[in-house]
Amino acid sequence: MKNKKSLVSLICIFSILLVGCNINNNPSNNINNNSSISSSNTSNSTSNKHSYLDDYKQYFYTKNTPITYTGSAETGHKITFNNIESLNDYTIYTYDGLMNDGYGQDIRGKRTFTAKYKVTNDMVIESINNNDYISKNKDTLHSFIKDFVVLKGQIKKNNSWTQKTIIDGVEYEAITTITEENDTSFTTKTVIKALSFEDGKYYTETRTYELGKGLIYFSYLNNPYLEISYSLI
């Protein structure tokens, strides 16, 4: 009789756990920007931001040692990991940036910026606060796209998403597609077809991300004759 009571108790506990697992926990994306985002060919099996973060947090650089980027046209900068902030509906990775290009610095001192990566329940968004006194762009670094959607859904080749962005007061649609992916890295290509050049070319950005390092390569084509790029060294 005692064994039967124990068995009934175990069944009750197991039933409670099953009911609890079926609770619909769908937190808001809480995206605070002017972008409208949609996606296609995404197979998002995650149901909350914790599981999405667990899937992709290994791509973020979290060491205390600064890392350096250098590239064409004397471009260059350094970033240092600052902190991770976990809130109710999202997590933010913050990095401190320092320009290290051919312009150098003047009596005004260091040319700095802050990069934040916001991880929601199904996407990663990059936001820039640019304090570089030489740059006219205060919410981007080299990209034309404010609050750039780094990733939406799973890392899967041909997965794509769109976002609307404002450039010089005009609204454009940017389409980002994962063009390559393997066990340790993935590459995205972003195109704004409304910003077209001669020879059938468009404004294009290419990015590659690697496990444990984050962004390792970036390039952009904003005219048909000159592509600017930089890489992690």
Q: What is the pLDDT of residues 118-138, one digit of tens each?
A: 999 999 999 999 999 999 989
16 has a pLDDT exceeding 70: no
pLDDT tens for 21-42 read 332 333 333 333 445 566 665 4
Bridge partner residues of 156 (DSSP):
none
* 4 sits in which H/E element: helix 2-21
Fold held by 37-232? YmcC-like fold (2.40.360)
Residue 7: what pLDDT?
Answer: 36
Reported as a single tens digit per residue, the pLDDT across 86-121 is 998 899 999 999 999 999 999 999 999 999 999 999
In angstroms, the Cα distances linking 59 to 19, 55, 87, 211 are: 34, 9, 20, 4
Q: How far apart are CA 77 and CA 198, in angstroms?
A: 31
What is the reported pLDDT for 226? 83
Q: Worst-scoring range by mean pLDDT, 5-9, 12-16, 173-177?
A: 12-16
Higher-confidence position of 55 and 160: 160
Q: Is the pLDDT of residue 5 over 60?
A: no
Nearest to 93 by CA among 49, 62, 129, 131: 62
Residue 155 · residue 186 · CB < 8 Å = yes
Q: pLDDT higher for 186 or 36?
A: 186
Distance CA 151, CA 163 (A): 11
How many angstroms separate the Cα of 109 from the Cα of each of 59, 115, 128, 132? 32, 19, 20, 10
Residue 200: the pLDDT is 80
Residues 6+ apart with CB under 8 A from 210: 59, 184, 185, 216
Q: pLDDT grade, residue 198 (50/70/90)?
A: confident
Q: 198 near 172, Cβ under 8 Å?
A: no
Domain ranges for the chain, please list them.
37-232
